[in-house]
Structure 1
Amino acid sequence: MNIWKKRIKRWSYEITGIALGSFIFAFGLNYFIIANRLAEGGLTGVVLILHYLFDWPVGLTYLLLNLPLFIAGWRFLGSDFAWKTLVGTVFVSLAIELTKHYQAPMTEDLLLASLYGGGAVGLGLGIIFYLGGSTGGADVVARFINHYGGWPIGRGLLLVDTIVIVAVGIFFGLTVALYTLVAVFVATRVIDFVQEGAYSAKAATIISKKTKIIGEEVVSKMGRGATVFVGRGAYTAQEKDILYCVVSRSELVRLKALVYEVDPTAFMIISDVHEVFGEGFRRWPYKRKSGAVDG
């Protein structure tokens, strides 16, 4: 009984979040994108082209175009993801119709409209994706391309977006297509922000003859952990120790100074890390299942 209560609570939380994300998405689409006759990528862009050319209702068209893709792609989605995709698609379609009276433009500046519209659309989709849902459309098409053509899903999404934006340029002119690109770019960045969070860190890969000393200094002076890998130089064929550690942005300068002080000839690579879970960083956002056993 407790298991079902937990499941119902989780489903209620996810469905509420997906509904909220759907309304934010729909509001941004109506209030900024459609109000200024801009477009979007993916299936949403196809729906907007049909709306501008034939005055087809956006919400209903979105639902009708998604349903065949959803039914055909059910076997590729998995039951849980497919269920959330259906919920997301229905909520988005309903939200678009319920917020369509917000299509009076707040601003006639196309750049502002594309920025705000892309931000709102990205925020809504980010919330939906964060909860494990989807709005179908290009996601399902990309999975078909991946299954039958062997293309990576990311490349499939890029192909769909490219075709849609080229069509926007053909039907409505280069200016609209360029501002649509801005909106799509902003939406993508906001989706990533919602998915990954505002927190970010830096990862350092350090190759040095004094890796052991550097590692000890990182642990003792910075209170950070580090991992040592064994690598082999391609030219010398000699084995070398490679130190890997993750620090916060504010600690990066201190780490570089420490490495330089120990070995000014060290080879150091800095890369962005968007999420870090574990000791010294963020806690895992999940609760342990009851009865779980430590391994």
Structure 2
Amino acid sequence: MNTKAFLEPMGSWAWWRSWFLIFFGCAVMGTGFVLFINPYNFVPGGVYGLGIVFHNIFPSVQVGTFGYMFDVPLMIIAMLIFGGQFGTRTVLAALFTPGYMNILTRLVYPDAAAVESLDPALLLGGRLDLSNDLLLTCVIGAVVIGVGQGIVVRQQATTGGTDIVAMLLQKFAGIKFSTGILLADGSVVLSGLVVIGFGIGTAEAEPAGWMLTLYSLITIYITSRVIAYMLDGASYDKLLFIITDKHQELRQFILEDLERSATYLKGKGMYTEAMKDVIFLVVSRREVRLVEQKIRSIDPRAFVVVTDAYDTYGEGFKPLPDADTIQAE
């Protein structure tokens, strides 16, 4: 393991903040599994979803322990492919999360028998039993897990498992990170349907097991959307194409009031064949209404097109991503 990450200056706030966020994100994700996923036999993909499947076959082994079993080879791959520092972050995150889940599980259940059964009626003394509203439960669990994973991935680490598979798909196959998670987790969900839904390998099938598979798919989709939200942000910038005869007033507004710049594009009217200057301007979603109102006050007859700018890089916006930066989309 490369120890470079541990040799950074101890006073570096960015270094401490990054590691705090990694462990905090892992804790958030682990809490989502223990409180909202594991007790209801949802199988939302990943090594912990696979751990839920195997826990139904071997109930004496905790879900987090299976996480260790599945994560080790994937962590080795991550270290070999993505480098030493990335491997260090992945190893520590992946080692912390299953242990945290095991400890939290023992804390929220009254005894060892309850830990084996994972009966939601025994969870926190029955105070968090959501068995009668499984749709709400899977939505809450998906959001909590997605937030936790998103926090970790923003620090250029992963919680292990199918995160690594998705990153490999992005690196070598050009598949979106969130889409890669969906693909990798699909096989895990199918295994849950076979074991939990049909009862293969267990004493008996779970009643309405196919419904649990449906909830698992909902959980996976919502989790992937939350991860995309965490990585790319809640909203897109706005791209404006503006044709007006009052360029000077609008130019002054853009440069001085918005403190932005814009670009003049040359255009030619199809009907008049007159040459026009088209202003190419990118603003945040919050600023677009202000710009529209200003254009109306300067030139009510201006022609304006507003569209989404999915990603905007450069001064005043996001920096261009590095080659190994994780992209949700």
Tell me the distance in 2 between the aligned counterparts of 1:39 and 1:47. 9
Structure 1 residues 106-255: aligned runs within 5 Å: 106=128, 107-108=130-131, 109-145=133-169, 150-154=173-177, 155-171=179-195, 172=197, 173-195=209-231, 202-208=237-243, 210=245, 212-213=247-248, 215-216=250-251, 218-219=253-254, 222-230=257-265, 241-249=278-286, 251-255=287-291
> Which amino acid counterpart does residue 160 of structure 1 have in structure 2?
A
Q: Which residue of 1 aligns with 2:21?
A: 17
Tell me the distance in 2 between the aligned counterparts of 1:132 and 1:139. 11
Q: Does 1:78 align with 2:115?
A: no
Note the C-alpha offset of 1:206: 0.9
> Which amino acid counterpart does residue 189 of structure 2 have in structure 1?
I
Q: Which residue of 2 aligns with 1:291?
A: none
Q: CA RMSD in A?
A: 3.6
3-state secondary structure, aligned to 2:159: coil
For these two proteins, the number of residue pairs brought into alignment is: 275
Q: Does 1:93 align with 2:98?
A: yes
Normalising by structure 1, we get a TM-score of: 0.76
Normalising by structure 2, we get a TM-score of: 0.69
Note the C-alpha offset of 1:180: 1.6
> Which amino acid counterpart does residue 79 of structure 2 have in structure 1?
W
Contact kept in structure 2, 1:119 and 1:190, CA below 8 Å: yes
Q: Deviations over 1:31-87 (max 9, x none)?
A: 110111112123332222222233342112111211112213322212211110001
> Which amino acid counterpart does residue 240 of structure 2 have in structure 1?
T
Note the C-alpha offset of 1:168: 3.3
Contact kept in structure 2, 1:196 and 1:275, CA below 8 Å: no
3-state secondary structure, aligned to 1:15: helix
3-state secondary structure, aligned to 2:9: helix
* Gapped regions of structure 2 (runs ≥ 5): 1-6, 109-117, 121-127, 198-208, 320-329
3-state secondary structure, aligned to 1:89: helix
Residues 227 and 220 of structure 1, relative CA distance in 2, 3 Å threshold: closer
Tell me the distance in 2 between the aligned counterparts of 1:211 and 1:174. 63
Q: Which residue of 1 aligns with 2:303?
A: 266
Tell me the distance in 2 between the aligned counterparts of 1:77 and 1:208. 47
Tell me the distance in 2 between the aligned counterparts of 1:135 and 1:228. 42
Note the C-alpha offset of 1:194: 4.1
Tell me the distance in 2 between the aligned counterparts of 1:79 and 1:217. 50
> Which amino acid counterpart does residue 306 of structure 2 have in structure 1?
I
Tell me the distance in 1 between the aligned counterparts of 2:236 and 2:150. 21
Q: Identity of aligned pairs, percent?
A: 21
> Which amino acid counterpart does residue 223 of structure 1 have in structure 2?
L
Note the C-alpha offset of 1:16: 3.1
Tell me the distance in 2 between the aligned counterparts of 1:73 and 1:3. 22
Contact kept in structure 1, 2:158 and 2:164, CA below 8 Å: no
